[in-house]
């Protein structure tokens, strides 16, 4: 594969990187190698429409089957890259990758888009049958089947994925308990008022929510889980347990290559790793804060995977990288549609617009009076207004933002944000 780009990890970021190289006019060979047997697909529906049976596996595909041949992208599915070596002479950044089944892929340019793996619980009984996690399409298909034959479902972890699974299971009529170790739900991502809203909303729908509840172990019979045991001695009978306690970025290849890793593969705003010839993008990376540039963040979102992969493709070709886009995210838990724009990390004040009990409200986050982000529940117009405002560098003072009678759009006044410099 002379002059070619090798992309390891064939999912949201890997596919976007390949597609962007083509869009930017690169006509050199591209090989996209992925461990999963399925062509690149969307993960978000796995805990939502796909799990609840509203959509099928075919609708998950990110591109039509014909796309890869048409775009000249060599998609190699079902192969895990286990070893990557850089050439000691010749073009900087070139080398060869080997897969677990012995295939070799020489490359001139390398990108790692290897994502993250679900974090496992290391408590007694964690390997019993009936304890599942949800990261890929096979996990979701398996879980969908198991849900049909389970009456009592315990979800360990009250983050986005745990709550989405809980909502889907409850909508299927299951008896659902969410067990969260922290004092509140989704505590790393939202303000206490939003956490409390979700606790109450799930309770209203018949889901039991246990907070500050640590799992001590699982009980089983004949190799199958029968209950979850908590640290306080409580025992929750369960036919099915879903563990959603976060992910661990896959840094093994990066470490093999001697790239800097710190809670993920460290990259700059142009998706360059500590070896400036190698790119990395998506869930596996840690990057400078995309809005303030101060400190680093690891983002797990489709928007981030797409944005970073696009930046990686541009910087590989020596093209200018645009200003860092405003991050956005969504979590649909049944009929509760949360949309987030911006990053609320480091906020020192927030303003609630509307009444959480109405299940239609939003929360604006500020730091030193500057608008950082919005969480909008069933409020798409508010979400869009703030997302646009953050893109345009516009703001609304916290003292005015709390009046739900005045549309946010009309409250926002323009103020520019600096762009990220080109390489």
Ligand X SMILES: Cc1cc2nc3c(=O)[nH]c(=O)nc-3n(C[C@H](O)[C@H](O)[C@H](O)COP(=O)(O)OP(=O)(O)OC[C@H]3O[C@@H](n4cnc5c(N)ncnc54)[C@H](O)[C@@H]3O)c2cc1C
Residues 328-357 that bind ligand X (CB under 6 A): 329-331
* # binding residues, ligand X (CB under 6 A): 36
* Least distance from ligand X to the Cβ atom of residue 112, Å: 8
Residues 379-408 that bind ligand X (CB under 6 A): none
206 near 216, Cβ under 8 Å? no
Residue 409 contacts residue 381 (beta carbons within 8 Å): yes
Select the residue interacting with ligand X from 305, 314, 351, 390 (CB under 6 A): 305
Which residues ranging from 187 to 226 are in contact with ligand X (CB under 6 A)?
A: none
- The window from 199-207, 287-295, 296-304, 333-341 that contacts ligand X (CB under 6 A) reads 296-304
CA separation (Å) from 335 to 69, 162, 235, 313, 331?
39, 16, 30, 37, 10
Tell me the CA distances in angstroms from 126 to 129, 179, 216, 218, 220, one per residue in order.
9, 15, 10, 6, 10
Binds ligand X (CB under 6 A): choice among 5, 6, 7, 12? 12
Q: Given the complex with ligand X, which of 26 and 36 has the nearer CB atom?
A: 36
Residue number, 81 or 163, with CB nearest to ligand X = 81
Q: Residues 24, 54, 80, 151: which binds ligand X (CB under 6 A)?
A: 80
Among 239, 283, 375, 382, binds ligand X (CB under 6 A): 283
Q: Which is nearer to ligand X, 10 or 19 (CB)?
A: 10
Q: Does 77 sit near ligand X (CB under 6 A)?
A: no
Asked if 282 touches ligand X (CB under 6 A), the answer is: yes
Please, what is the end-to-end C-alpha distance for the chain in angstroms? Answer: 27
Q: 108 or 283: whose CB is closer to ligand X?
A: 283
Q: Does 116 sit near ligand X (CB under 6 A)?
A: yes
Query: What are residue 301's phi and psi, to 5 degrees?
Result: -155, 155
Member of 6, 7, 13, 269 binding ligand X (CB under 6 A): 13
Nearer to ligand X, 328 or 366 (CB): 328
Q: Report if residue 120 touches ligand X, rule: CB under 6 A.
A: no
Nearer to ligand X, 220 or 249 (CB): 249
Label residue 194 left, alpha or beta by phi (over 0 means left) and psi (-120 to 50 means alpha).
alpha
Binding mask 22-41 for ligand X (x = CB under 6 A): -----------xxxx-----
Identify the residue among 5, 7, 14, 215 touching ligand X (CB under 6 A). Answer: 14
Burial label for 193, CB within 10 Å (0-12, 13-18, 19+), is: middle
Q: Residue 226 or residue 378: which is nearer to ligand X going by CB?
A: 378
Residues 396 and 406: beta-carbon distance below 8 Å: no
Q: Of 205, 207, 201, which is closest to residue 175 (Cα–Cα)?
A: 207
Q: Single out the segment in contact with ligand X by CB under 6 A; choices: 175-183, 259-267, 294-302, 379-387.
A: 294-302
Give the binding range for ligand X (CB under 6 A) out of 3-11, 185-193, 260-268, 395-403. Answer: 3-11
Is beta strand 265-266 parallel, antiparallel or unpaired with respect to 285-288? parallel
Question: Does position 108 bind ligand X by CB under 6 A?
Answer: no
Q: What tokens were used for 167?
A: 């909502």
Query: Which 248-277 residues touch ligand X, going by CB under 6 A?
Result: 250, 253
Smaller CB distance to ligand X: residue 376 or 396?
376
Residue 160 or 350 with smaller CB distance to ligand X:
160
Which residue from 22, 28, 119, 135 is in contact with ligand X, where contact means CB under 6 A? 135
How far apart (Å, rounded) are the C-alpha atoms in residues 409 and 399? 15
Segment lying near ligand X (by CB under 6 A), choices 21-29, 150-158, 297-305, 310-318: 297-305
- Beta carbon of residue 415, minimum distance to ligand X (angstroms, whole number): 27
- Residues forming contacts to ligand X in the complex (CB under 6 A) are 8-14, 33-36, 43-44, 46-47, 80-81, 113-116, 134-135, 161, 250, 253, 282-283, 300-303, 305, 329-331
């Amino acid at each position: 594969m002379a002059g070619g780009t090798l992309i390891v990890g064939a999912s949201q970021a890997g596919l976007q990187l390949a597609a962007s190289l083509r869009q930017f006019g690169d006509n050199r060979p591209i090989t996209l190698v992925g461990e999963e047997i399925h062509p690149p697909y969307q993960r978000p529906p796995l805990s939502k429409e796909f799990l609840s049976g509203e959509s099928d596996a075919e609708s998950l595909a990110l591109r039509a089957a014909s796309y890869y041949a048409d775009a000249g992208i060599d998609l190699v599915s079902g192969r895990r890259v286990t070893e990557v070596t850089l050439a000691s002479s010749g073009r900087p950044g070139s080398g060869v990758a080997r897969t677990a089944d012995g295939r070799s892929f020489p490359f001139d340019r390398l990108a790692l888009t290897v994502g993250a793996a679900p974090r496992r619980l290391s408590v007694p009984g964690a390997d019993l049958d009936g304890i599942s996690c949800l990261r890929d399409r096979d996990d979701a298909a398996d879980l969908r089947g198991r849900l049909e034959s389970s009456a009592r479902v315990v979800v360990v972890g009250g983050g986005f994925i745990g709550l989405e699974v809980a909502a889907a299971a409850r909508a299927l009529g299951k008896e659902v308990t969410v067990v969260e170790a922290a004092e509140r739900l989704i505590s790393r991502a939202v303000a206490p008022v939003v956490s409390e809203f979700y606790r109450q909303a799930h309770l209203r729908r018949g889901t039991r929510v246990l907070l500050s509840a640590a799992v001590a172990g699982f009980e089983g019979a004949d190799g199958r889980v029968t209950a979850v045991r908590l640290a306080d001695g409580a025992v929750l009978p369960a036919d099915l347990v879903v563990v959603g306690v976060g992910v661990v970025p896959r840094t093994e290849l990066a470490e093999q290559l001697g790239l800097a890793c710190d809670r993920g593969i460290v990259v700059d705003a142009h998706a360059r790793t500590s070896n400036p010839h190698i790119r990395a993008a998506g869930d596996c990376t840690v990057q400078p804060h995309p809005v303030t540039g101060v400190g680093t963040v690891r983002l797990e979102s489709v928007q981030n995977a797409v944005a970073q992969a696009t930046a990686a493709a541009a910087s590989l070709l020596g093209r200018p990288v645009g200003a860092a886009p405003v991050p956005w995210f969504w979590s649909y838990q049944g009929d509760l549609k949360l949309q987030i724009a911006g990053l609320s990390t480091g906020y020192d004040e927030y303003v609630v617009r509307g009444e959480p009990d109405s299940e239609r409200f939003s929360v604006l986050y500020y730091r030193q009076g500057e608008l950082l982000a919005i969480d909008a529940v069933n409020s798409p117009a508010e979400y869009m207004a703030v997302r646009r405002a953050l893109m345009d560098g516009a703001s609304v003072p916290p003292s005015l933002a709390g009046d739900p009678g005045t549309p946010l759009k009309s409250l926002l006044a323009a103020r520019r944000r600096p762009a990220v410099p080109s390489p």
